[in-house]
């Protein structure tokens, strides 16, 4: 029998955290091994519990989710942990920073439970996932700005250098993890193949894989 995927849940809102734990623990192939309410607690618990995947909120006290992700999965971490960032805020800066920090996935909190569970399982296999809404937004922003010149609105602003770089790397077939690495390390990354798991998601095979009163180790 295959061992269940061990999951650590980190969110500073107890109601949301409890809901996540309930949804995840109800799956026969998933097991919540701990929960906590801030990024530093997540780093500490991950070191003790060795989860397969950490579900990480972004806006939290003590240490935010981006910095916690960098400590758990960033460049140079000896034993990186798969991190799925889960947030209410669909902001470009969060997407970019989460990927740069080493996150294996980025999902919105209004995603259906099935999508969350799929994201956890996907990350556990070493693949990476972007929320379909995030992918649509990124592509939509690009498409809106490449209209023919005669129809262009002179008030339109061009894509930022970061947006152009991310789109160029995605077009080259890089995985989310490789895009994150390229943004930090190199302008000329390798170009592996990319296989979408569905028309609405960006799921590709990737090459890599604190303490408060709310922290609980199971």
Q: Running along the chain, 218 residues long, what does each successive block of 10 average in pLDDT? A: 93 96 97 98 97 96 95 92 85 75 87 93 86 57 52 55 70 67 51 40 39 47
Under a CB-based contact definition with an 8 Å cutoff, are residues 12 and 61 in contact? yes
**Element containing residue 203 per DSSP (H, E):** strand 202-205
**What is the number of structural domains in the chain?**
1
Distance CA 89, CA 197 (A): 24
DSSP secondary structure letters along 76-132: T-SS--EEEEEES---HHHHHHHHHHT-SEEEETTS-HHHHHHHHHHHHTTEEEE-H
Q: Can you give the CATH number for the domain in which 93 is found?
A: 3.40.50.2300
Query: Residue 51's pLDDT is what?
Result: 98
Q: Is residue 126 part of a domain?
A: yes
Distance CA 200, CA 40 (A): 33
Q: Is residue 91 part of a domain?
A: yes
Q: Is residue 58 part of a domain?
A: yes
Query: Residue 187's pLDDT is what?
Result: 40
> Residue holding tokens 């922290």?
215
Q: Is residue 154 part of a domain?
A: no
CA 215, 58, 169, 194 torsion-angle sign: positive
Under a CB-based contact definition with an 8 Å cutoff, are residues 204 and 128 in contact? yes
Query: Residue 199's pLDDT is what?
Result: 38
Q: Is residue 32 part of a domain?
A: yes
Q: Is residue 212 part of a domain?
A: yes
- Structure pTM? 0.65
Distance CA 103, CA 177 (A): 7
Q: Is residue 27 part of a domain?
A: yes
The closest of 117, 109, 116, 108 to 135, measured between CA atoms, is: 108
> Among the residues of the chain, which ranges form H helices?
14-25, 39-49, 65-73, 92-101, 113-124, 132-144, 161-171, 176-185
Query: Residue 211's pLDDT is what?
Result: 40
For residue 106, the enclosing domain spans: 5-130+208-217
Helix axis angle, 92-101 relative to 65-73, nearest 10°? 20
């Amino acid at each position: 029998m295959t061992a269940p995927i061990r999951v650590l849940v980190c969110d500073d809102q107890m109601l949301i955290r409890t809901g996540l734990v309930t949804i995840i623990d109800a799956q026969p192939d998933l097991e919540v091994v701990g929960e906590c309410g801030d990024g530093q607690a997540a780093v500490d618990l991950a070191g003790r519990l060795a989860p397969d995947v950490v579900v990480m909120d972004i806006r939290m006290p003590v240490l935010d989710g981006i910095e916690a992700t960098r400590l758990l999965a960033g460049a140079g971490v000896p034993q990186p942990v798969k991190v799925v960032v889960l947030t209410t805020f669909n902001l470009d800066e969060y997407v970019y920073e989460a990927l740069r920090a080493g996150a294996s996935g980025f999902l919105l909190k209004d995603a259906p439970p099935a999508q969350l569970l799929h994201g956890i399982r996907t990350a556990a296999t070493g693949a990476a996932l972007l929320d379909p809404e995030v992918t649509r937004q990124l592509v939509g922003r690009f498409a809106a700005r490449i209209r023919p010149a005669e129809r262009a609105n002179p008030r339109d602003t061009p894509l930022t250098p970061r947006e152009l770089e991310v789109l160029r790397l995605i077009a080259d077939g890089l995985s989310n993890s490789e895009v994150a690495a390229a943004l930090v390390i190199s302008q000329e990354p390798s170009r592996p193949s990319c296989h979408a798991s569905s028309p609405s998601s960006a799921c590709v095979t990737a090459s890599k894989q604190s303490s408060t009163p709310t922290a609980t180790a199971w």
